[in-house]
């Protein structure tokens, strides 16, 4: 199967269960690679393996000490980098243009409580947010990833 030219970057995801779920969803949509940064749990963490159901073997992944290091490497390799984050300059996922997929992209997903680290914003090519109508205006990070990857996959 041809891989989608998307790298997923996890910025300090606390929950091993979320990370495992992200491995499974990333496998389902055949992403290129998963970068696990900072405190993000890595295989063979028990919770990661429990929810990944073997996807840790089918997804290429790499650990980074910090998300900044990962973004520097991605920029050097020609990736456009977008955070999935609510910010003043965010564009709606619905408006995410197919032309943006002409070059390889990386998507940064932030910590469950704090979101994407503010220090990363200057390193990004933009922010994308999922339109929401509820009162919480947030999604679990693994659910968020599923929504975003589905939208890109169908385009």
**pLDDT over threshold 80, residue 52:** yes
Render pLDDT for 105-128 as a digit per residue (tens, 0 to 9).
999 999 999 999 999 999 999 999
Q: Which fold has domain 4-154?
A: Alpha/beta knot (3.40.1280)
Strand intervals (E) in the chain: 4-11, 31-37, 61-64, 80-84, 91-92, 105-109, 126-129
Q: How many CB atoms are closer than 10 A to CB 154?
A: 7
Residue 69: its H or E element: helix 67-76
- Whole-structure pTM value: 0.95
Question: Confidence class of residue 98 from pLDDT cuts 50, 70 and 90?
Answer: low
Higher per-residue confidence, 19 vs 137 = 19
- 36 φ/ψ angles, rounded to the nearest 5 degrees: -105, 115
**pLDDT over threshold 80, residue 100:** no
């Amino acid at each position: 199967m041809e891989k989608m030219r998307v790298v997923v970057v996890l910025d300090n995801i606390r929950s091993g269960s979320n990370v495992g779920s992200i491995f499974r969803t990333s496998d389902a949509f055949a992403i290129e690679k998963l970068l696990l940064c900072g405190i993000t749990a890595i295989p063979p963490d028990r919770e990661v393996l429990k929810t990944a159901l073997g996807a840790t073997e089918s997804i290429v992944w790499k650990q980074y000490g910090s998300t900044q290091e990962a973004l520097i490497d991605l920029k050097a390799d020609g990736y456009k980098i977008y955070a999935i984050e609510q910010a003043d300059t965010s564009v709606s996922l619905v408006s995410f243009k197919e032309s943006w997929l002409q070059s390889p992209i990386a998507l940064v997903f932030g910590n469950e409580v704090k979101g994407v680290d503010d220090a990363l914003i200057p390193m990004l090519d933009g922010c994308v947010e999922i339109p929401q109508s509820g009162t919480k205006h947030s999604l679990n990070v693994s659910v968020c990833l599923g929504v975003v990857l589905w939208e890109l996959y169908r385009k």
